[in-house]
Structure 1
């Protein structure tokens, strides 16, 4: 492995034609230039220059290295600038893994703020439900996971991850607009025990079944889907009702569907998860800050 200072010195000797001129250009003494060239020759394993009278001529090894020296120095300069830019938040790449309702609400707002203030930071979005999204951070497949947890369930978080709470999302029930309880501001889950239900992802479905069991009934689940638009379409056609996160209310697509809060209130916690050491990466920390800001503008923690 060549030392960068030796390559820089060699490149300057070739450019100026002598040790003396290179020393003058770089601000070194001539003996220092001589020592660095000798050290580089030891790294190469062959002489780089031959003296012909008072002039210096490159050996075959020297000519080969000279063809690459400029490119090596240019690549190093680019790499140094990229690292400096990262530390200044001018650029960087952050991969976000989020569940669908966060991808449709929190993430677009946060990325819009990011693009306005730091256009050099590239954010990439992948979609995945927890707990898989958490494991993707641990495996290095993404940098930030947006995930949710329910208070009544025993859910394990990989110990490598740091949790950054964002907001408490109140659960709602989606009803057809013509449903008798659609006129209420809030509904009790126990009053819906005879309804046909549409269940969501595994984690949401587990919480739903747990809450129903706590009230002493087993719901009649006739459809299962983690696609929020499919859920809305099924509810709109009167094929069932669904317990859904409050975030979904901000993108209800059907006029024939209404969302009503649960009484007593039921909530899930939405958080960002990152590897502890990634909080020291400026671009990652910046995205987390934007997510916090967006969450704070909603009903937050």
Structure 2
């Protein structure tokens, strides 16, 4: 089975199962589990590869590897490292995927299922994932990751960009990707001095923007009528810089504001600072 860019985790099981382990070993174990799931259950036992991803020396990884094996957290299977629970979970998902493929030609009788709320938590159990999780197609994850990385404009660590689970949880709870998530990431990324270590960094701001929209009773806006290409935004930015102004009604939140729609890579330092509100977008003035 192919690896997963996202999998269901059980925080309480992990915390209880690592009681007594030093922090450094817990952190290594968490990352190794991620890598095992991403590799479909079998992580190549390559010390240079793994130490590079963990950001430690080969010597340090050898020590961590020995301790994790001694604790029974991971085991060696030929040329691979694996984890018994990961193998069980991945096998369950494989069977579930096959079952879903068989059912695709049948009428859908589960139209009333609802997504979990923000505060949904995992049950304290060792039950498999079959009753709570259905893995979306890989193409959906690839498209989502592409949009997120583009919105962040390079302000996300490369390894962290792969783990889109925190964003998937938001969309499953009803948060809109185009309206609530991507604009906030663009806005926050434009102000960041260094890349975020995880998509979870953006979650509080996204939730705040979403809850603010819901509290105000605002429905999802219709698709924007203005052009959304880089050329369109570059033209607006040139005009805005000359006038030191921005049309919120025409173009949405200004640079530096949460929800700004302008692609991050087009922004310059100081964009939005001290800009006044413009009445409209004079078409003749937008000529480059």
TM-score (norm 1): 0.24
Pick the structure with more helix per residue. Answer: 2
TM-score (norm 2): 0.24
Larger relative contact order (C-alpha < 8 A, sep ≥ 6)? 1
